[in-house]
Amino acid sequence: MSKELEAIEQIGKQVESFKATLGEKADAKAIEKLTSDIETLSKGLESMTEKEIDKSIEKINTSLETMHKQVEKLLEEQAELKEKSGDTAKPFQLVKTEDVESFVKATFEGTTKTANKASIVIKAPETFGYPTFFTGGGSTDITAFTGRYVDPKLYERKRKRNLILDHFDIQVINVPTLIYLVKIEVGDTNPTSGDPGSAAWILSGAAKPKRSFRVTTGVAEAKKVAIFGTVEDKLLRDVPSLENWIREDFMDEMKEAINDGLLNNNPSIDPNAPLGLKTNAVQYTATPAYDNLIENPNYIDDIIAAIAFMAYNKEEAGIVFISSDVYYRIMHLKATDGKWLNNNLVYVNSQNELYIAGVHVVWADEEDVPSANILVVARDLGFKIKAYGSMVFERGLNGTDFREDKTSYRGYQEFLSYIPENRENSVLYDTFANIEAAIVLTTP
């Protein structure tokens, strides 16, 4: 076979391919004519003149070119329809079948292209933008296309400082009852009020002074703080972080309850909670050096007077708790001449810890120590706190949980607290007004 005949055969195959692609949109007459032209050229290749061959080839090429453009256009239309196929609405038709048919009909008259006689107006491409790109309204989740980042932190209200758990040593014991021993100095003849006697200087050979004391016990029972909640299993399965959130929430709630009970509770009012630090705390009374002798007292004077009161009562102040409000008020107290009251008695160290007269001053939440109040605890604190076992958080099935696909959570811990009566001076809780009323210099 000559090279020319091979080329004509390839052209024939191309026409068949176009015909298959265009399907129903193909112009049967035009294709038939084109096929016929190709066949004529193939058969008459040897008998036709060069001029006739050129003319025939030109005619075939023109028809092929037109058909190729049709195929390209059709493929574009199909791609566009495919993009819109996600929509539940009817597929959008850019060009209708009848438009293409009329276009092909008008474009080809016989084998001659008459493009000037027909046209199809194609809609101009729209701008891709948020308002139109995502269709389907609320049922379309845009983040499925854009992606999203979930901040793993669960934001919650900021909890207050925990005065008890942050500042007091709590030893863990393994029994629920605690007995503490108290020494009572009384005489051997009258066990309640007699003179216990004491050591004394004596003459050699003289009778030695008697000494006696008694002992007694105090008791503290463990009090339980607890919390409970039930969750559907499905929720636990679907929200993987939920159990951690429950744990943290239960722990935080219990810590707040522990702080509140061990700080404020009076067992006469709530016997289920332990003794609170403030309950048996002493009030301020003026010591001789302060007794209505301080001119225009301010917070610093009040705090030093409270420290002095503890020292006078043989206790050494360890921490002074005041509200955050008063804490910062102290920072800018000024003397009558306008100068800052920033002397060696009042200083802030490099860790922003305030010391007044060498005693650490700590700010507490307004709920625990209101702005009007001051709480001072001794370095060797008479108020003792023990925990009976560690804090527990555990899950289990409760009641109808198993039947109803639920899981229950519980948290609990037990505490004991006490202060021997002879160490009550180791905690002072009073108002600034009471201290100032006792120390203020008043003109007669």
Partner 1 sequence: MSNRLDNTRVVIFTEDYNPTGSKVLYAKEVKHYIHKDTVSKLEAKKVKLKATEFNEKAEVEKAKKALEESKKE
Residues forming the site for partner 1 (CB under 8 A): 266, 268-270, 279-286, 291-292, 296, 421, 424, 430-431, 433-434, 436-438, 440, 442
Beta carbon nearer to partner 1, 111 or 434: 434
Minimum Å distance from CB 300 to partner 1?
Answer: 15
Phi, psi of 358 (to 5 degrees): 80, 0
Burial (0-12, 13-18, 19+ Cβ within 10 Å), 317: buried
d(CA 259, CA 163): 7
Beta carbon nearer to partner 1, 8 or 439: 439
d(CA 98, CA 117): 17
Query: What three-state secondary structure class fits 232?
Result: strand
Beta carbon nearer to partner 1, 227 or 282: 282
CA angle 288, 290, 296 (to 5 degrees): 160
Beta carbon nearer to partner 1, 61 or 292: 292
Minimum Å distance from CB 335 to partner 1?
Answer: 14
Q: In 3D, which of 249, 256, 258, 254 has the Cα closest to residue 231? A: 249
Minimum Å distance from CB 255 to partner 1?
Answer: 20
Phi, psi of 200 (to 5 degrees): -150, 160
Minimum Å distance from CB 337 to partner 1?
Answer: 16
Question: Directed axis angle between helix 28-43 and helix 50-83, to 10°?
Answer: 150
Strands (E), 27-114: 108-109, 112-113
Minimum Å distance from CB 277 to partner 1?
Answer: 12
d(CA 126, CA 123): 9
Minimum Å distance from CB 296 to partner 1?
Answer: 6
Beta carbon nearer to partner 1, 60 or 438: 438
Beta carbon nearer to partner 1, 55 or 224: 224
d(CA 275, CA 220): 9
Residue 112, strand partner residues: 109
Minimum Å distance from CB 225 to partner 1?
Answer: 15
Beta carbon nearer to partner 1, 365 or 424: 424
What single-letter DSSP state applies at residue 177?
E
- Output Rg (C-alpha) for the chain, integer angstroms: 48
Beta carbon nearer to partner 1, 296 or 400: 296
Which residue in this structure is represented by tokens 């006490």?
Answer: 418
Beta carbon nearer to partner 1, 6 or 421: 421
Beta carbon nearer to partner 1, 221 or 424: 424
> For residue 403, what are its two tokens?
């039947």
Minimum Å distance from CB 194 to partner 1?
Answer: 21
Minimum Å distance from CB 221 to partner 1?
Answer: 18
Minimum Å distance from CB 336 to partner 1?
Answer: 11
Residues in the chain: 444
E strand or H helix at 128? none
Beta carbon nearer to partner 1, 27 or 430: 430
Considering Cα of 253, then 254, then 255, then 257, what sign does the dihedral take? positive
Beta carbon nearer to partner 1, 270 or 404: 270
> For residue 249, what are its two tokens?
């929430």
Minimum Å distance from CB 332 to partner 1?
Answer: 17
Residue 414 makes CB contacts below 8 A (sequence gap 6+) with: 176, 222, 223, 224, 225, 387, 388, 389
Minimum Å distance from CB 233 to partner 1?
Answer: 30
Question: Terminus-to-terminus CA distance in the chain, angstroms?
Answer: 139
d(CA 245, CA 208): 70
Q: In 3D, which of 403, 401, 392 has the Cα closest to residue 231? A: 401
d(CA 317, CA 319): 6
